[in-house]
Amino acid sequence: YLGGWTVDSLLKQGYRVRTTLRSLEREGQVRADIARQVDPGDRLSFIAADLLADEGWDRAAQGARFILHVAAPMGVGGSKSKTQELIRPSREGTLRVLKAGAKAGVERVVMTSSLQAALAPSGSAQGGPPGDETVWTDLSEKGTTDYTRAKTLAEQDAWAFMRGSPGAMTLTTVLPAFIQGPLMGRHVTGSLELVARMLRGQVSRVPRLGFCIVDVRDLVDLHLKAMTAPEAAGERFAGSSDFLWLADMARVLREQLGARAARVSTRRAPDFLVRFGALFNPELRQLTPGLGLRREFTSAKARRLLGWQARTATEAVVASGEALVREGLV
């Protein structure tokens, strides 16, 4: 999702783009999705590369000026094998990308981390100052998810690699909030699945959960600013707009989409009911530590150093809903 919109923006700005796919069988579909936004001409090419294998990464990096490493597995852990499906590709893949970039003499790598995962303040206290880039998630805390562990460890690995790398390559990390916004193609990716389920009437009661949100278009803009700005070298940047509870998201969809959001429920789910359901649902189990927790983050650093501006969370959620309805996916 983020990768597709990043390719779109790079092409529109005149760059030549080489991107990786685990299987080149997907090249035709990716080209078709990109072509709905911009004619790539001969400026888009593909290399087969997997985060868990060495093959392809040196070829992908050869001759490149910049690398944008936005790929990471998402999903729910649980079993040891599931845990490794998240953590190994994140950590090993990040190092493969960085090693290939250093070998090729790349100027800068921009790596996508995660605001909710790698920049979470310790504890669950309310009312504290918004989190900023000086914060790192404490992985020893109870309830730490496999995804949180994967994203935090991968970013820490990246900075450790750079400290031991004598070359001129620089690193910048971008930590997105919960990504919303228009679709790329007709694929409902992980970050849009929640709004899709709400529009389909599959969320009968809304749990007391909330997120800071960022529009994918603004997030791409932050990545590209981080790619070229001298001030971004060696820095972390939180990419976030404002905070919305799921109840707020439901209300916004009902208000802005009208009859098209008729199946969106605004009924609240009591915390005890969510915790009971979590006994039988692994996905719900990973969300329960966030019940009633309002964690806010500031993107003042990105605004100050890079001149970055973001749409409101409401605009991003409405864009998600409108795109899902327009494409007939709900």
Per 3-state DSSP, what percentage of the chain is helix, strand, and coil (rounded to 5)? 45, 15, 40
- Asked whether residue 78 carries a pLDDT value surpassing 50, the answer given is no
> Are 218 and 310 within 8 A, CB to CB?
yes
Band of residue 75 on the pLDDT scale cut at 50, 70, 90? low
313-326 helix and 246-257 helix, angle to the nearest 10 degrees: 60
Band of residue 295 on the pLDDT scale cut at 50, 70, 90? confident
> Are 51 and 92 within 8 A, CB to CB?
yes
- Asked whether residue 174 carries a pLDDT value surpassing 90, the answer given is yes
pLDDT at residue 284, as a whole number: 74
Nearest by Cα to 94 from 111, 119, 107: 111
Give the residue, 302 or 74, on which the prediction is more confident. 302
Query: What secondary structure, in 3-state letters, does 245-310 show?
Result: EHHHHHHHHHHHHHHHHCCCCCCECCHHHHHHHHCCCHHHHHHHHHCCCCCCECCHHHHHHHCCCC
- Least confident piece of the model among 153-157, 244-248, 294-298, 324-328: 294-298
Partners of residue 237 on adjacent β-strands: 174
**pTM, to two decimals:** 0.92
Average confidence score pLDDT of the chain: 91
> Are 16 and 65 within 8 A, CB to CB?
no
| DSSP 8-state secondary structure symbol assigned to residue 29 | H
- Asked whether residue 77 carries a pLDDT value surpassing 70, the answer given is no
Task: State the Cα–Cα distance between residues 218 and 51, nearest whole angstrom.
Answer: 26
Partners of residue 172 on adjacent β-strands: 110
Task: State the Cα–Cα distance between residues 114 and 84, nearest whole angstrom.
Answer: 18
Q: How far apart are the first and last CA of the chain?
A: 18
- Asked whether residue 76 carries a pLDDT value surpassing 90, the answer given is no
Other Cβ atoms closer than 10 A to 52: 13
- Asked whether residue 320 carries a pLDDT value surpassing 50, the answer given is yes
Compute the average pLDDT of residues 118-125. 66
Contacts of 243 (CB under 8 A, 6+ apart): 210, 211, 212, 213, 294, 295, 296, 313
Q: pLDDT for 28-61, tens place per residue?
A: 999 999 999 999 999 999 999 999 999 999 999 9
> Are 239 and 180 within 8 A, CB to CB?
no
Other Cβ atoms closer than 10 A to 82: 14
| DSSP 8-state secondary structure symbol assigned to residue 17 | E
**Six-digit token pair at 291?**
């019940």
